[in-house]
């Protein structure tokens, strides 16, 4: 856009905005376009700005835009300002109630979708643990309309947002429960019935959470990151509890932190409960998601302790 205010604000953002590596699409130009639209009265995610012409702003709207930019530069996440976030080709509502979905988590989402599409069941069952705003559960539900999908999270605020998001993306039938880890599914209705179990757990060590960038540390829920003293508290629970929920032949698909992939892949390969293990790497070759297939009952021996 060739407009003096646009040029002035783009220069400010180019100079002062810190673009986090896990939010690579939030460039100065995309940030400005999102906030410009917001000042003009439109809440848009980054994917939606390309198709929108920036409106002329009157004086109050221009003042509102400058205020939005000041808040963004003070560290408030873009998605908290716009209330919108892209994930797996859908637009979700975002707020401080839950982690803002990251682009890197799409690796887990698309890998799980491939497993789901390969399921023979007419209406495969999906359970998403640590669901946050429901992004993985709803990404799968939108792209696999034949699937029955549930999600759960310890945070009541996150679950309220996930429920809103289910309506927002047109899958109000997706059910979200509040509760500790797999407990909401600890019933005969679910045990041994799940075709695809997904999880993006907190996997950062408690000490490291305090050193994360201000934008994350000060504005996103600590519960979403803190995986205990070694970062693997919830991951250990996942390896222990997933086999009980999965159907024979069903898939566990989960995200891992940078540097955790190799050890977890080896550990999964040693567990009797799983027959196949697959690793998914990002563009830099780092393992960021793992999938493991529940061994069928006929070939199962004794399950190792995780
Ligand atoms: C890394 S975030 C993932 C959120 C979302 N699935 C995503 O991909 O953006 C981890 C989530 O785990 C939840 N959580 C942490 N401890 C939990 C527990 N003991 N039981 C259930 N959920 C938990 C947090 O509230 C947070 O929403």
For position 243, which CATH number holds?
Answer: 3.40.50.150
Mean pLDDT of 253-259: 97
The more confidently predicted of residues 125 and 302 is: 125
The residue whose CA has the least distance to atom 20 of ligand 1 is 181
220 CA → ligand 1 middle, Å: 12
Largest CA distance in the chain: 72
* pLDDT for residue 93 is more than 90: yes
CA of residue 128 to ligand 1 center, whole Å? 10
The pLDDT of residue 302 is above 90: no
Name the domain count of the chain: 2
Q: Does 175 reside within a domain? A: yes
Domain closes at, from 18, 50, 82:
82
Dihedral angle sign, alpha carbons of residues 153, 159, 161, 162: positive
Residue identifier of the C-alpha nearest atom 24 of ligand 1: 224
Say whether both 63 and 114 belong to one domain. no
Judgement on whether residues 156 and 241 belong to the same structural domain of the protein: yes
pLDDT digits (tens, 9 = 90+) for 7-55: 999 999 999 999 999 999 999 999 999 999 999 999 999 999 987 789 9
Residues whose CB is less than 8 angstroms from the CB of residue 172 and which lie 6 or more positions away in sequence, other chains included? 166
Kindly state whether residue 181 falls inside one of the protein's structural domains: yes
pLDDT value, residue 296: 86
Same domain, 78 and 131: no
How high is the pLDDT of residue 303? 45
Same domain, 71 and 181: no
Residue 61 above 90 pLDDT? yes
Does one domain contain both 268 and 136?
A: yes
The answer, yes or no, to whether residue 138 has pLDDT greater than 60, is yes
Answer whether residue 230 is part of any domain.
yes
Q: Is residue 304 part of a domain?
A: no
**Beta-strand (E) ranges in the chain?**
84-87, 90-93, 125-129, 148-153, 175-178, 194-199, 246-255, 274-281, 287-294
For the entire predicted model, the pTM comes to 0.95
Does 95 reside within a domain?
no
Q: Which residues line ligand 1 (CB under 6 A)?
A: 98-99, 101, 105, 130-132, 135-136, 153-155, 158, 180-181, 200-202, 223-224, 234
Is the same domain home to 251 and 287? yes
Q: Residue 213 falls within a domain, yes or no?
A: yes
Does pLDDT of 109 surpass 70? yes
Return the CA Rg of the chain. 21
C-alpha 2 to ligand 1 mean position (Å):
43
Structural domain includes residue 272: yes
Q: Please say which residue of 31, 50, 82 terminates a domain.
A: 82
For residue 87, is it within any domain? Answer: no
**66 and 142 share a domain?**
no
Contact of 139 with 113, CB cutoff 8 Å: yes
Q: What angle do CA 237, 189, 131 make, to 5 degrees?
A: 45
Nearest atom of ligand 1 to the alpha carbon of 132: 27
Tokens 């996930």 belong to 162
User: Which phi and psi (to 5°) does residue 119 adopt?
Assistant: -65, 140
CA of 212 to the centre of ligand 1 (A): 17
Write out the residue range of the structural domain in which residue 56 sits. Answer: 4-82
């Amino acid at each position: 856009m060739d407009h003096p205010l646009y040029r002035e604000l783009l220069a400010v953002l180019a100079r002062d905005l810190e673009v986090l590596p896990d939010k690579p699409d939030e460039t100065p130009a995309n940030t400005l376009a999102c906030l410009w639209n917001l000042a003009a009265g439109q809440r848009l995610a980054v994917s939606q700005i390309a198709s929108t012409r920036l409106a002329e702003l009157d004086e109050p709207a221009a003042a509102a835009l400058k205020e939005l930019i000041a808040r963004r530069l003070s560290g408030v996440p873009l998605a908290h300002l716009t209330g919108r976030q892209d994930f797996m080709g859908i637009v979700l509502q975002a707020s401080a109630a839950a982690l803002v979905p990251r682009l890197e988590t799409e690796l887990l989402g698309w890998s799980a979708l491939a497993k789901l599409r390969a399921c023979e069941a007419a209406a495969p069952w999906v359970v998403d643990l640590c669901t946050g705003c429901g992004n993985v559960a709803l990404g799968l539900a939108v792209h696999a309309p034949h699937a029955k999908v549930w999600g759960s999270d310890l945070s009541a605020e996150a679950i309220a947002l996930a429920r809103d998001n289910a309506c927002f993306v047109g899958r109000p039938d997706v059910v979200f429960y509040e509760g500790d880890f797999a407990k909401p599914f600890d019933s005969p209705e679910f045990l041994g019935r799940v075709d695809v179990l997904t999880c993006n757990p907190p996997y950062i060590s408690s000490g490291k959470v305090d050193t994360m960038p201000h934008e994350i540390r000060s504005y996103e829920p600590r519960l979403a990151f803190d995986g205990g003293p070694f970062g693997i508290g919830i991951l250990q629970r996942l390896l222990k509890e997933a086999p009980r929920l999965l159907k024979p032949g069903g898939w566990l698909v989960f995200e891992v932190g940078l540097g955790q992939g190799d050890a977890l892949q080896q550990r999964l390969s040693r567990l009797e409960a799983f027959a196949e293990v697959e690793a998914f790497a990002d563009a830099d070759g780092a393992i960021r998601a793992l999938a493991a297939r529940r061994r069928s009952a006929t070939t199962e021996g004794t399950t190792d302790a995780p």
